[in-house]
Structure 1
Amino acid sequence: MISTRTPFFRPAAWAAVLAAAVLSVPAVGSPAQAAPGDPAVASSFNLKPGPDLNGHVTALKAALPTQGIQTLLDQGNRVAKTGTSCTTDPFGTGDSGTILAPDRKFCWDGGDSDTKEWIPQGITGVSDAQADELWGTRKPLVTAWYDKASKDLCDSDPATCHDKGVRLSFLDPETAVPGDPDGRRYRHVLLVEPYYNSFQHISYKAVDLHAGGIAWYKNYLYVADTLNGLRVFDMRAVLDLNPDQNASADDTTLDGLKSNVRDETKIGRQSNVYYSHTYRYVMPQVASYKFASAQGNTSAGTCVATGAPKASYISIDRSDLAAPALIMGEYCNSDEEHPEKGRVGALPIDDATGLLKTTNGVVAASGAYHLPRDLTQGAARYDGMYYFNRSYLNNSGSLRRAQVSGTRLVDYGNNITNAVGPEDLYIEHGQSRPGSGTQYLWSLSEHRMENGDATCTDAGSPCGRVIYAHRMADILARP
């Protein structure tokens, strides 16, 4: 059978060439390590589908008009900068690895780079979603931010008192703003959960998630739900609360009510008006998956060795187009009482539907391993090579690589220094352009930079929020 996989650059080939030279070289500062007890119990990652909310979403679409992703990008109301216009540089020298400068980098609009309320976490893109790596004619990246509602913020800024949940940012890195070659438009979309209120009217509320990882496949956006599993949202159901683009006046909705994008304190249908914490666009949840095993983790930091893992971060492995997989892993901050470093597993995707592949009511994980290191914030896999982002407070983060050796996941080569506060990972696989494109490993950093903020001015560890990408060839060429 002829393989449908036609990548122009194959990490496995580099692995074969470099294996003898690299696998014998320990990570700087510590010996190469394999996680104890591998392989992990794959069934711990098994999931069961939750309630089907498509009927709820259909009711919302009868009330509010939908908007396509391409139009949303065209109407982006914020501008990210690249090239020499992107001066933020969070790539410090605080760990023992060697720095790999990003090949591509984007800086957020000033309001987003400096906000204390919203914290960037997850990243995905159309290369996850489509084999041709295009959504119509566009190549959007998508990032997720969680609302860090807190008393400190609320006391100083009452608009932040309401937890708005999670928002997405849609950005096309390939399309410049007319007259601004370094500018790229982007737009926020608020994630919501639909429900029927006490009057049996369709409504929606903010989703209370950390959104540490997101993954886009076909029409569906998967969002990590740390202690439960996954939430699923439909890219075809972006609802528009301000189609006339005049925020100063309420719009009349499809069901004859009104929509208001001025009141930051309200969400959902209230007194026959639809609100959205001022966001023009909302995207409702359509499905969910919950861990089949009992959840043994009760802390955001520590982990246990058995039972369901935490869904801290996720990504898509498209290296075998005939067998796509969703990669899921957990963040663990090990200590003497809880020495576990975390696990990573793979879940099969049904390419015909874009949803996870369910057999007899269960999504059965195809494999799982214990992680070689703790403090992992993001994971991706391609052609058998695993990539992990590891970070600790305001020190420089590290990009690590690992391969399966026997039944264990083992460090591959030295760690590579990357940004302070690196988060989720996304692979732009380049399979649609064999021999001509470039494969990238994308990520983003979470720490805001404010002059005088002691948490962001440690010597050798500069902070700042950027989206960035390394060339896969550059990563694998490192010893």
Structure 2
Amino acid sequence: MTHRGRHRRRRRGRALRATLTGTALALTAAATLISTSQAAGGDNPGGLTPVTAAADSAGLGLHENLTDQRALDSLTRAMGGSVGVHDVLRAADHPMRDQSACDAAETAALPVKPTATRAYCWDNGDATTTQWLPRSVTTSGDAHDDGRWGSDRVILSGWTHDDRRPGAPAAGRGLARVAFIDADDPAHLAYRWVLLVAPSAGGKDFEAVRTRMSGMVWYQDKLIVTARDSLIVFDLRRILKTDVDRDAIGRVKGGYSAHGYQYVLPAIGSYRLTGGPCSTADERTVPCFSALSLDRTSTPDSLVASEWSPPGGTSRPARLWRYAYSTAPGHDGLLATGAHGDVRAIETYETDATGVQGVLSHKRAGAARADWYVDHAPTVGGRHGTLWRQTTSGAKAATCAADETLACWGRHTTSLSYWQQTGELWTLTEGAADEDDGSGTASADGRVLFAVPLESVDDALG
């Protein structure tokens, strides 16, 4: 029995020992079939464990804080009114390359199994910069069940500024931007950058939002992105256009500037974890947010989250949980709250998968419960990851070579998003990995946005 197994057995108590012992014996028997190279894909995490004790999920609670509507209206008026997503897409100035034009490193970052059916690479500057990291993805398939925002098919990709070079200007560190990708023509994708900001000075000014953006979901007219111990909310109906091209962010002489970006998206609120600062110490502490995704197969629709934990070497499980979206009038795209603005987790599990970079929950037709797809990051830079499908009964991953390796998923993938209308699972590779995944790599090689049919993922699992 591994240290991780002993840890979980101690915590859950004597009543579950017989069950866990049987599970451990089954996993031990299965382990004899796993080759040395297969271990590079990550040890089998086994089944999910439901968290039913209220004390164990208390740290997942949120409190909703919405920005004063008057401040938002004031900023909107001062900047000449809002513009629509369609307007941003029509101003797209960065063409994406389809798979045939991707270079060898980018193509090598795609999954070995199953095969990506659509793949795109960024323009040259964004493909090679080490100052910005692609971290998250969501689509108009999340926003609406018809897969469109108005008449447009749209993909959003969140990037964070991460320049730690000596002498690098501090003003740019931690900036967050979103690529608004026009996906109307699958053969010719193009995008425009929008900087994330927050209103200040009662709506007379704005300042930069600085977050690592490891997760992002677009639902109805709201965009929710991760910060370390909170979720930040944006309204896609409030995109604003700057009128001064300077490095400054906010109000300047002659108008408003946004570090060279023409469009900004101001925050309209946040959800802060009520248990205090997050920690990775153990599974009883307040979690640090990692990945987000949308589950349209739950009732009501729900926001799925995972916590960040270091890949490899950890002796504790990581939590996966969900919050219900609101169905109350006037609360479109926001989470369901109690009378005092509190949000509770409605379902929580623990997984022994480490270094979770992406999470997705999806219930297949006729199934009693949802499957959970967990993207396991490699512990060594430049290697492929593993996509596990977990239930309370066990875990499965694709095998992709004669030696039965499980490292079949993309290289340094981050974030998962399911486009229900098309049946596609979207993700992207980070290329330049940082301390979050423990790889220690400093190269931007291998950045690619790709889609795989979820049905193909399930077929690959057998």
Output the TM-score relative to the length of structure 1: 0.76
Q: Are residue 427 (structure 1) and residue 418 (structure 2) matched?
A: yes
Amino acid of the structure 2 residue aligned with 1:194:
P
Give 1:50 shift. Answer: 1.9
Deviations for 1:26-68, whole angstroms, at most 9, x for unmatched residues? Answer: 7743764336864263333211112434332211111113111
2-side partners of 1:173 and 1:404: how far apart? Answer: 33
Tell me: CA distance 1:319–1:33, structure 2 relative to 1, closer, same or farther (3 Å).
Answer: same
Q: Indicate yes or no: 2:359 matched with 1:379.
A: yes
Q: Aligned to 1:404, which of 384, 388, 391?
A: 391
Q: Are 1:45 and 2:23 counterparts?
A: no
2:172 pairs with 1:162 = yes
The equivalent of 2:284 in structure 1 is 306
Q: What percent of counterpart residues are identical?
A: 23
Matched residue type, 2:51: P
| SS, match of residue 327 in structure 1 | strand
Q: Find the counterpart in structure 2 of residue 280 from structure 1.
A: 262
The one-letter amino acid of 2:180's match is F
Q: Determine which of 145, 148, 163 is the counterpart of 2:159.
A: 145
Other-structure match for 1:331: 308
User: Structure 2 counterpart of 1:360, which letter?
Assistant: A
Taking the aligned partners of 2:268 and 2:355, their CA distance within structure 1 comes to: 31
Q: Give, as a single letter, the amino acid of the residue that structure 2 aligns with 1:130.
A: H
SS across alignment from 2:289:
coil
Question: Which residue identity lines up with residue 274 of structure 2 in the other structure?
Answer: A
Count of equivalent residues: 399
Distance 1:54-1:396 versus aligned 2 partners, 3 A rule: farther
Aligned 1:245-394 pairs, distance under 5 A = 259-261=243-245, 263-264=246-247, 266-271=248-253, 273-297=255-279, 302-320=280-298, 322-333=299-310, 339-352=315-328, 353-361=332-340, 362-383=342-363, 384-392=370-378, 393-394=380-381
Structure 1 CA distance, aligned partners of 2:392 and 2:249? 50
Tell me, yes or no, if structure 1 residue 209 matches structure 2 residue 223: no
The letter of the residue matching 2:384 is G
Higher relative contact order (CA 8 A, sep 6+): 1
CA contact (8 A) 2:387 2:409 kept: no
Indicate the larger mover: 48-57 or 418-427. Answer: 48-57
Contact 1:151-1:161 at 8 Å conserved across structures: no
Matches of 2:356 and 2:49 in 1, distance apart? 18
Cα gap change, 1:314 to 1:93, in 2 (>3 Å): closer
Rounded Cα–Cα distance in structure 1 between residues aligned with 2:451 and 2:315: 32
Distance between the aligned counterparts of 1:334 and 1:401, measured in 2?
A: 15
Q: What per-residue deviation string (whole Å, max 9, x for no partner) do you get for residues 176-219 of structure 1?
A: 6xxxxx432210000001110xxx66111111100001000001
Aligned to 1:15: none
Q: 1:205 to 1:88 in 2, by over 3 A?
A: farther
- Residue 91 of structure 1: how far off its partner (Å): 5.9
2:430 pairs with 1:446: yes
Encode CA deviations 1:237-257: one digit per residue, 9 max, x unaligned.
00011xxxxxxxxxxxxxxxx
Three-state SS of the structure 2 residue aligned to 1:84 is helix
Q: Any conservation in 2 of the 1:88–1:107 contact (CA below 8 Å)?
A: no
The letter for the 2-side match of 1:326 is L
CA contact (8 A) 1:117 1:153 kept: no
Which stretch has the larger CA shift, 286-295 or 36-45?
Answer: 36-45
- The offset of 1:161, in angstroms, is 5.1
List runs of 5+ in structure 2 lacking aligned partners. Answer: 1-26, 364-369, 399-405, 434-439
Q: Work out the CA distance in 1 between the residues paired with 2:203 and 2:114.
A: 53
Range 44-53 or range 379-388, more displaced: 44-53
Structure 2 distance, partners of 1:370, 1:129, is 28
Give the match for residue 18 of structure 1. Answer: none
Question: Residues 126 and 275 from structure 1, CA distance in 2 versus in 1: closer, same or farther, beyond 3 angstroms?
Answer: same
Q: List runs of 5+ in structure 1 lacking aligned partners.
A: 1-22, 177-181, 242-258, 431-437
Give 1:138 shift: 0.8
Retained in 1: the 8 A contact 2:290–2:356? no
Q: Is 2:376–2:388's contact at 8 Å kept on the other side of the alignment?
A: no
CA RMSD of aligned residues (A): 2.8
Determine which of 442, 447, 456 is the counterpart of 1:474.
Answer: 456
Give the deviation of 1:303 after TM superposition. Answer: 4.2
Please state how far the C-alpha of 1:474 moved relative to its aligned partner. 0.9
Q: Distance in 1 between matches of 2:210 and 2:273?
A: 18
Normalised TM-score (structure 2):
0.79
CA, structure 1 residues 34+225, in 2 after alignment: closer, same or farther (shift >3 Å)? same
* Aligned amino acid, residue 357 of structure 2: Q
Q: Is the 1:214–1:314 Cα contact (8 Å) retained in structure 2?
A: yes
What letter is aligned with 1:163?
A: R
Deviation at 1:88, TM superposition (A): 4.8
Counterpart Cα distance in 2 of 1:146 and 1:464: 17
Distance in 2 of aligned mates of 1:313 and 1:399: 16
Structure 1 residues 39 and 397: CA distance shift in structure 2, 3 A:
farther
Question: How far apart, in 1, do the equivalents of 2:391 and 2:167 lie?
Answer: 45
**SS of 2:297 mapped into structure 1:** coil
Secondary structure in 1 matching 2:410: strand
- Aligned partner of residue 476 in structure 1, secondary structure: helix
Q: Distance in 1 between matches of 2:171 and 2:123?
A: 23
The answer to whether residue 198 in structure 2 is matched with residue 193 in structure 1 is yes
Asked if the contact 1:334/1:340 (under 8 Å) is kept, the reply is no
In structure 2, the CA distance between the partners of 1:62 and 1:31, relative to structure 1 (3 Å rule), is closer
